[in-house]
Amino acid sequence: MRKQLPVLLLASGLLLGTGLSAQAQIKLNTKTIGAGLKAAKAATVSDAEVIEHTKEFVKWSDENNPVAPASSPYAQRLKKIVAGLDSYDGMSMNYKVYLVKDINAFACADGSVRVFAGLMDLMSDEEILGVIGHEIGHVKHKDSKDAMRTALMASALKEGASSQGGAAGALSDSQLGDLGQAIANASFSRAQESSADAYGYDLLKAKKVNPFYMASAFGKLNDLSGGAKASKGAQLFSSHPDSEKRMTIVMEKAKKDGFTQPTK
């Protein structure tokens, strides 16, 4: 049986799960994503269609994964961290915590940001904000939208390229796995990652948070990418190349801007 991919591969997630506390692993959508997507027009999937299918995906994900209720310390903490970011830089954003042990966060093209409890257990508030800023950067630069469009196109073409305009069939579990693989294999480029880093850096400055915390967040994630501690995380930064180099770039930029590296 094919091992199902976690839904985070359908977004711009930072890394795959390791083994911290919280509940079950995140689930994969096994229902239709865009059954009405026509194979004949797959090459010209519009922005509106991408957003529509993204919202469908996010709705299913929220319904089928353990979302932290408003009373949860995780939800309350995230609300504090993202205060003032519901509307940011012309984008409408929404934020939730998934009570799963994976160390991850992802953002979708519709402005949905999902932060995993495992990541919150690992990082300080400032570091989490740096990660979120990076993910918002992918939304602002349309990286998340382009990744979903590419995945939808590939899936529709594979399923119904010969349908001559007929609606492609509902995606099966296997095809959903292929969709996740398409996103996973279509990693963001170094230029896209650098741009998202710069966006997150500027967001921290705008929120009057020392941008060194973005570097320390990358450092913690990079530490988990090797050794027995990350036995389940060999792909931790498969979609974020040169993590150590990017951490160094952020640190050098912060020093140049006159910030002092925190002692903790």
Quote the DSSP letter at residue 259. P
Alpha-carbon gap, residue 75 to 95, rounded angstroms: 9
What's the sign of the alpha-carbon dihedral 146, 48, 61, 169?
negative
Q: Residue 7: helix, strand or coil by DSSP?
A: helix
Q: Residue 50: which of 143, 188, 145 has the closest Cα?
A: 145
List all residues 6 or more positions away from 171 whose beta carbon is below 8 Å from its beta carbon: 32, 33, 34, 35, 155, 159, 179
Rounded-to-integer distance, Cα 87 and Cα 85, Å: 5
**What are the residue ranges of helices labelled H in the chain?**
47-64, 73-81, 117-122, 125-140, 143-160, 173-185, 190-206, 212-223, 243-256
For residue 165, what are its two tokens?
């305009």
Active site annotation includes 135: yes
Nearby residues of 146 by Cβ (< 8 Å), 6 or more positions away: none
Q: How far is CA 193 from each of CA 140, 143, 167, rounded to the nearest angstrom?
A: 12, 9, 35
| Active-site hit among 135, 159, 193, 244 | 135
Catalytic (active-site) positions: 135
